[in-house]
Amino acid sequence: MSKKRIVHYINQFFAGIGGEEKADIKPEVREGVVGPGMAINTAMKDDAEIVATIICGDSYFNENVEEAKATIIDMVKEYNPDLFIAGPAFNAGRYGVACGTIAKTVADELQIPVLSGMYIENPGADMFKKSIYITQTGDSAAAMRKAVPDMTALALKLIRGEEVGSPAEDKYIPRGIRKNYFAQERGSKRAVNMLLKKLKGEEFVTEYPMPDFDRVEPMPAVKDLAKAKIALVTSGGIVPKNNPDRIESSSASKYGEYDISSFDNLTEADHETAHGGYDPVYANIDPDRVLPVDVLRDLEKEGVIGELYKYFYTTVGNGTSVANSKAFAAEFAKKLVADGVQAVILTST
């Protein structure tokens, strides 16, 4: 029996082309295996093989989605594959979004099985887990050794047309799909058994996990605004002109700290938005629409607030992972507290 054919999608980093400085490369196709595809190919043994690898820069894909999808679909068609694999992307946000986007597009347009692999907090996982199978991986490429066997096992099921089991069985991120099945014990007995284990402090697995929301207790109100030092923080992507720190337009891996002590208002000559998730025209014409430096300066002059903090902190919320967002805030919050900031105005888009 001939081997099943697989087309593999990876980014510029895993192709060995380069990092951020090469993230703008356009889609290209190479015959056979490249990078992590070697481990996937080996694990497939005689069942399947990667016949082509498609490579695309993360920045190019996310900034030119429609063009990238059209080009890559044409490339995939040339090889008539039985399966399309994207990644694994681990916790790389833009890579995860690209993997999810192109995998769903392939599934929708070519009607073949698709598969990806991501860390649970990758924004691509949250965006596409209901549309495609995404094997759950660790948060970095250091977890490749475990990711490949898990992805391969599920890939083989998809290729063979076998029934996919539960997320726990086949190690993919839950898709929110519920199926009826016959259990050996009735529900009341299972519920009592779980309760007894809980009371004893023993480990148990719920059959209906509830969402875990991160709740933040509100701080007390500022007692005297007229004496308070106020800081501006934004997820709307406002940055100095030409984005000096190259904050990504989507799935940001960094934030910026910029001095506004010499500005009474922001203009299109000195600031702009790096955000790729909304129409930037009005924010670029008047960046104060997203980061209201002009209003805070007026309040400062009127004595309504004590002073506007000399730095503002900025990133983009577009696809940025919860883990990255928390890490950014934890880092610059220490600076704000150390400098005596008493309140923060957080703006979005």
Task: Give the confidence band of 291 by pLDDT, cuts at 50, 70, 90.
Answer: very high
User: How far apart are alpha carbons 274 and 283 in whole angstroms?
Assistant: 10
Rounded-to-integer distance, Cα 198 and Cα 271, Å: 55
Give phi and psi for 12, each to the nearest 5.
-65, -30
- Per domain, the residue ranges of the chain are 4-170, 225-347
CA distance 119 to 137: 5
What digits encode the pLDDT tens for the residues 325-340?
888 999 999 999 999 9
Flag whether pLDDT at 181 surpasses 80. no
Alpha-carbon distance of 3 to 260, in angstroms, equals 61
181 against 247, higher pLDDT: 247
Give the integer Cα–Cα distance in Å for 236 and 21: 24
Beta carbons of 252 and 199 less than 8 angstroms apart: no
pLDDT tens column, 182-235: 888 988 999 999 999 999 999 988 877 776 667 788 889 999 999 999 999 999
* pLDDT reported for residue 1: 56
Distances (CA, A) of 249 to 19, 207, 253, 255: 16, 39, 10, 11
Backbone angles phi, psi at 328, to 5 degrees: -60, -50
> Tokens 């099945």 label which residue?
181
Q: What separation in angstroms does the CA of 155 have from each of 40, 41, 149, 196?
A: 10, 11, 10, 39
CA distance 155 to 7: 12
- Could you tell me the two tokens for 29? 């196709």
Give the pLDDT confidence score for residue 336 in this predicted structure: 96
Count Cβ atoms below 10 Å from residue 117 Cβ, excluding itself: 33
Contact by Cβ (8 Å): 148, 154? no
Q: Which CATH architecture has domain 4-170?
A: 3-Layer(aba) Sandwich (3.40)
User: In Å, how far from its chain's centre is CA 210?
Assistant: 22
Q: What is the pTM of this model?
A: 0.66
Out of 120-134, 228-242, 334-348, which region has the weakest mean confidence (pLDDT)? 120-134
Checking if the pLDDT of 159 tops 70, the result is yes
Give me the pLDDT at residue 132, please: 95
Mean pLDDT of the chain: 91
| Residue closest to 60 by CA, chosen among 30, 88, 18 | 18
Average pLDDT on 282-297 reads 96
Sign (positive or negative) of CA dihedral 158, 161, 167, 170 = negative
Q: Which residues, 6+ apart, have CB-to-CB distance to 265 below 8 Å?
A: 288, 293, 294, 297
For 15-44, write each residue's pLDDT tens digit: 999 888 888 999 999 999 998 999 999 999
pLDDT digits (tens, 9 = 90+) for 69-124: 999 999 999 999 999 999 899 988 889 999 999 999 999 999 999 999 999 888 88
